[in-house]
């Protein structure tokens, strides 16, 4: 196998949930650059169309699937719509996510439901419902976006931390169940990247504190996540499952 074949995704069909902006968009473009046809799903049709146009301009086939994946009936319909439009995806990326910075005692039930329904419930059922068809085919790859919060607790971010611990747990659980049936399940844990999700909620003080704990002394660039996704989706990672790959500038390695 040549290096290009080892890391190439030619002929693969990918679906990126949350692919319209931020981390999802960067990963979608990276998968397309590696040769995959990449379809994007999410809540905002206008940003999906923009990303899909970029993917087509890069030479990929691309469709958009506007959907609120916290609506379980809509998520069920997405599984059917994707299968009818182009078949069961070879690669599923769960890049949907929300967060809210508050003192623990200030969260309410609505906060809890919004974060957990997006970050855990939709990821679990997208993985398992698409996963059923992957298992029936005997091949597939699921990549979910975890977080440094999958490994640590962060003040004023309690429910998000719970949700991202769950993403790591479901990744390991599904990987252990499906490894012998041809479906690999992994996750990527981004370090500090400035996205629409966090750039406006992180105060300057919090950003300064984060930088002080990153050995590379900078925030990540979104396209630096694309290589991790391409690797995990590619034949080069065919013996890799159940891992959560940190892309964090050395944050976790640095300890205290």
Question: Residue 180 is encoded by which pair of tokens?
Answer: 């012998």
d(CA 153, CA 148): 9
Secondary structure of 139-168 in HEC code, one letter for each residue: CEEEEEECCHHHCCCCCCCHHHHHHHHHHH
Task: Record the tokens describing residue 190, joined without a space.
Answer: 């981004």
Of 107, 160, 231, 239, the active-site residue reads 160
For residue 227, give the H/E element and its range: helix 226-233
- Distance, in Å, from the CA atom of 118 to the CA atom of 74, rounded to the nearest integer, reads 13
Name the token pair of 111: 């906060």
Given a contact cutoff of 8 angstroms between Cβ atoms, the answer to whether 201 and 99 are in contact is yes
Torsion angle in degrees (nearest 10) through CA of 29, 34, 39, 43: -30
Report in angstroms the alpha-carbon separations of 107 from 52, 97, 98, 165, 176: 36, 17, 14, 18, 34
Write the CB contacts of 127 (distance below 8 Å, at least 6 apart in sequence). Answer: 92, 94, 142, 144, 170, 174, 185
Cβ neighbours for 22, distance < 8 A, ≥ 6 positions apart: 95, 195, 196, 197, 222
Our answer to whether residue 160 is catalytic in this structure is yes
Residues designated as active site: 160
């Amino acid at each position: 196998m040549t290096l290009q074949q080892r890391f190439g995704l030619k002929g693969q069909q990918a679906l990126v949930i949350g692919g319209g902006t931020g981390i999802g968009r960067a990963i979608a473009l990276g998968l397309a650059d590696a040769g995959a046809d990449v379809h994007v799903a999410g809540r905002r049709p206008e940003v999906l169309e923009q990303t899909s146009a970029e993917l087509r301009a890069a030479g990929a086939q691309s469709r958009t699937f506007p959907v609120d994946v916290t609506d379980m009936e809509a998520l069920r319909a997405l599984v059917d719509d994707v299968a009818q439009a182009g078949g069961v995806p070879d690669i599923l990326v769960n890049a949907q996510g929300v967060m809210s910075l508050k003192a623990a005692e200030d969260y309410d039930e609505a906060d809890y439901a919004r974060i957990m329904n997006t970050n855990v419930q939709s990821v679990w059922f997208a993985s398992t419902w698409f996963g059923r068809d992957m298992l029936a085919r005997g091949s597939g790859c699921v990549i979910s976006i975890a977080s440094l919060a999958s490994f640590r607790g962060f003040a004023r971010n309690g429910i998000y931390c719970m949700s991202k611990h769950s993403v790591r747990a479901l990744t390991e659980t599904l990987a252990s169940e499906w490894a012998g049936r041809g479906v690999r399940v992994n996750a990527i844990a981004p370090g500090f990247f400035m996205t629409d999700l966090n750039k406006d909620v992180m105060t300057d003080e919090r950003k300064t504190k984060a930088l002080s704990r990153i050995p590379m002394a900078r925030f990540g660039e979104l396209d630096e996540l694309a290589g991790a996704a391409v690797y995990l989706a590619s034949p080069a990672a065919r013996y890799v499952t159940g891992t959560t790959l940190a892309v964090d500038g050395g944050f976790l390695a640095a300890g205290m």
